[in-house]
């Protein structure tokens, strides 16, 4: 390939400039032109690539003389010349107005990433775009935010499926650790495939959770203080209902964020399964309530504070005074969540705690109840570095009880 220009022109076989195509100056063909020699034997035939990557030529349309030289045993045996038009296309990835092509950018899980590909000249339209985004990434996570007292009726993840445009918007859920992630957009111009790349380092807060769940407490062995009244309860009641340190389920996180004003951590709890059966003392009527995969509360998230130690506690149980018989079985998933400071950020999970309990109690005289059957003490499982968002379609603010 003979290009009119100076010796500063370089041609590569790949966008990473790892393989430079042999270019030599050839004074015999004019005023210091450039000559590209393809060394080959008769078999296989010489293949002229449809896409090459150049330095030293401005973007736009130009012309070149394509010279195919067949060299056998060091002797030039055949020469073919042709003049063709070619276009030098420059592609860049921008984040906002900043060009980040081949650059490393730092970000945080949960922050919105908005990228777009710019091209020069813009008059030539590509036939397709294809983004490659490694890591755990999603298009969005929508849930009512606890900044206002609204009902957390639903929450859903939108998967990242649209990756064939010149722009892309997404969120990373997981950090990149010690390895940077390479983002690539492959742009197709006819038969020419041109990749453009950038790098990201995604940081995640350091975090841990001290999780404690008390044992099942039988009725009559304690007095439960609820709404300033002494009550008899079946469940995980322990001490004062409003005191964190004596509650049955108590989760204490330690999260180190990035000292950005507005970043927050919180707890979200999902009732995976709930089943309650009871027999009323007054009329011996039988009732039940069964539901699953609902949000445990009304505001999202249940607890929201700046990074540090926003303790979360829960004391599930059933007051027994009105019942001759009652059974209750609960299983929960409690999520430690993090949200960066920017307004278009989303909540992302850090850790998940699975826990459950079950018990059955019967009245044996007017003021005495006892556990029957085989009670189940709480089981607890801690999942660190959790990356799957909680999702639900309703909350349990209005428990539905029906005759059994």
For residue 311, count CB atoms less than 10 angstroms from its CB and return exposed for 0-12, middle for 13-18, buried for 19 or more. middle
pLDDT tens for the chain, residues 1 to 404: 333 333 456 777 777 777 776 544 444 443 333 344 444 444 444 455 567 677 666 677 666 555 555 556 666 665 666 565 667 788 999 999 999 999 999 999 999 999 999 998 888 889 999 999 999 999 999 986 544 444 567 899 999 999 999 999 999 999 998 899 999 999 998 878 889 999 999 999 999 888 877 777 666 554 544 444 445 667 665 544 444 445 577 788 888 888 777 888 888 999 999 998 999 998 999 999 998 898 888 778 877 776 666 678 787 878 788 889 988 888 999 999 999 988 899 999 999 999 988 888 888 887 788 888 776 667 888 898 999 999 998 887 666 778 88
Nearest to 191 by CA among 129, 130, 127: 127
**Are residue 76 and residue 96 in the same domain, yes or no?**
no
Domain boundary pick from 186, 203, 220:
203
Q: Which two tokens stand for residue 259?
A: 């000292």
- Determine, yes or no, domain membership for 33: yes
Q: How far apart are the first and last CA of the chain?
A: 86
Q: How many CA atoms lie within 13 A of 49 on its CB side?
A: 13
- The token pair at 230 is 């002494």
Distances (CA, A) of 301 to 16, 154, 205, 337: 45, 12, 18, 8
Cβ neighbours around 382 below 10 Å, total: 16
Phi then psi for 339, rounded to 5 degrees?
Answer: -135, 125
pLDDT for 27? 41
Specify whether 70 is located in the same domain as 129.
no
Residue 46 per-residue DSSP state:
P
Is residue 1 domain-resident?
A: no
Give the number of domains in the chain.
3
- Give the count of beta carbons closer than 10 Å to the beta carbon of residue 342: 14
The phi, psi pair for 254, rounded to 5°, reads -125, 110
Q: Name 37's Cβ contacts closer than 8 Å, sequence gap at least 6.
A: 22, 24, 69, 71
3-state secondary structure of 300: coil
C-alpha torsion sign, points 73, 74, 77, 81: positive
DSSP 8-class letter at 388: P
Based on the domain organization, do 311 and 212 belong to the same domain? yes
111 and 36 share one domain: no
Residue-wise pLDDT tens digits, 61-95: 666 555 555 556 666 665 666 565 667 788 999 99
Same-domain pairing of 292 and 304: yes
Same domain, 176 and 188: yes
Nearest to 162 by CA among 198, 200, 131, 193: 131
Query: What range defines the domain where residue 363 resides?
Result: 206-403
- Residue 381 located in a structural domain: yes
Last residue of a domain, one of 88, 112, 145: 88
**pLDDT number for residue 76:** 63
Answer yes or no: do 28 and 47 share one domain: yes
pTM score > 0.85 for this model?
Answer: no
Do 216 and 285 belong to one domain?
A: yes
Q: Give residue 228's pLDDT.
A: 46
The closest of 9, 41, 43 to 23, measured between CA atoms, is 9
Residue 5 located in a structural domain: no
Do residues 34 and 77 share a domain? yes
- How many CA atoms within 13 Å lie on the side-chain side of 248? 22
- 180 assigned to some structural domain: yes
Asked if 227 and 352 sit in the same domain, the reply is yes
Residues 35, 156: one domain? no
Domain limit, last residue, from 64, 88, 112: 88
In a domain? residue 4? no
Which tokens in the block code for residue 46? 């010489």
Residue 2 in domain: no
Q: Which tokens is 174 given?
A: 């997981």
Is residue 3 in some structural domain? Answer: no
Give yes or no for a contact between 340 and 110, defined as CB atoms under 8 angstroms apart: yes
Radius of gyration of the chain from its Cα atoms, rounded to whole angstroms: 33
My answer on whether 153 and 24 are in the same domain is no
Q: What is the CATH number of the domain that holds 107?
A: 2.60.40.10
């Amino acid at each position: 390939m003979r290009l009119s220009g100076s010796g500063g022109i370089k041609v590569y076989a790949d966008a990473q400039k790892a393989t430079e195509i042999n270019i030599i100056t050839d004074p015999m063909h004019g005023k210091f032109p450039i000559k590209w020699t393809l060394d080959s034997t008769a078999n296989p035939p010489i293949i002229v690539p449809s896409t090459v990557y150049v330095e030293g030529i401005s973007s736009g349309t130009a012309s070149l003389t394509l010279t195919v030289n067949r060299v056998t045993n060091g002797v030039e045996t055949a020469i073919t010349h042709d003049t063709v038009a070619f276009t030098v296309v420059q592609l860049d990835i921008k984040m906002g107005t900043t060009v980040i092509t081949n650059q490393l950018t730092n970000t945080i899980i949960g922050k919105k990433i908005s990228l777009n590909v710019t091209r020069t000249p813009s008059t030539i339209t590509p036939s397709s775009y294809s983004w490659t985004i490694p890591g755990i990434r999603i298009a969005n996570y929508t849930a009512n935010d606890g900044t206002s007292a609204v009902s957390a009726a639903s929450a859903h993840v939108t998967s990242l499926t649209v990756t064939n445009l010149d722009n892309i918007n997404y969120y990373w859920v997981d950090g990149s650790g010690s390895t940077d992630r390479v983002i690539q957009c492959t742009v197709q111009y006819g038969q020419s495939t041109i990749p453009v790349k950038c790098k990201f380092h995604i940081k995640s807060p350091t975090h841990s959770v001290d999780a404690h769940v008390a044992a099942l407490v039988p009725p009559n062995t304690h007095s439960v203080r609820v709404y300033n009244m002494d009550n008899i309860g079946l469940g995980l009641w322990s001490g004062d209902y409003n005191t964190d340190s004596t509650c049955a389920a108590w989760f204490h996180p330690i999260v180190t964020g990035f000292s950005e004003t507005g970043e927050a951590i919180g707890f979200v709890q999902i009732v995976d399964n709930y089943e309650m059966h009871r027999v009323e003392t007054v009329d011996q009527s039988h009732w039940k309530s069964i539901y699953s995969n609902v949000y445990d509360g009304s505001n999202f998230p249940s607890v929201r504070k700046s990074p540090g130690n926003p303790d979360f506690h829960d004391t599930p149980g059933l007051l027994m005074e009105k019942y001759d018989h009652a059974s209750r079985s609960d299983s929960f998933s409690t999520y430690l969540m993090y949200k960066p400071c920017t307004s278009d950020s989303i909540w992302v999970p850090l850790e998940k705690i699975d826990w459950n309990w079950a018990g059955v109690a019967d009245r044996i005289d007017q003021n005495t109840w006892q556990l029957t059957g085989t009670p189940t003490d709480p089981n607890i499982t801690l999942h660190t570095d959790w990356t799957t968002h909680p999702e639900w379609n309703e909350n349990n603010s209005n428990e539905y009880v029906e005759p059994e």
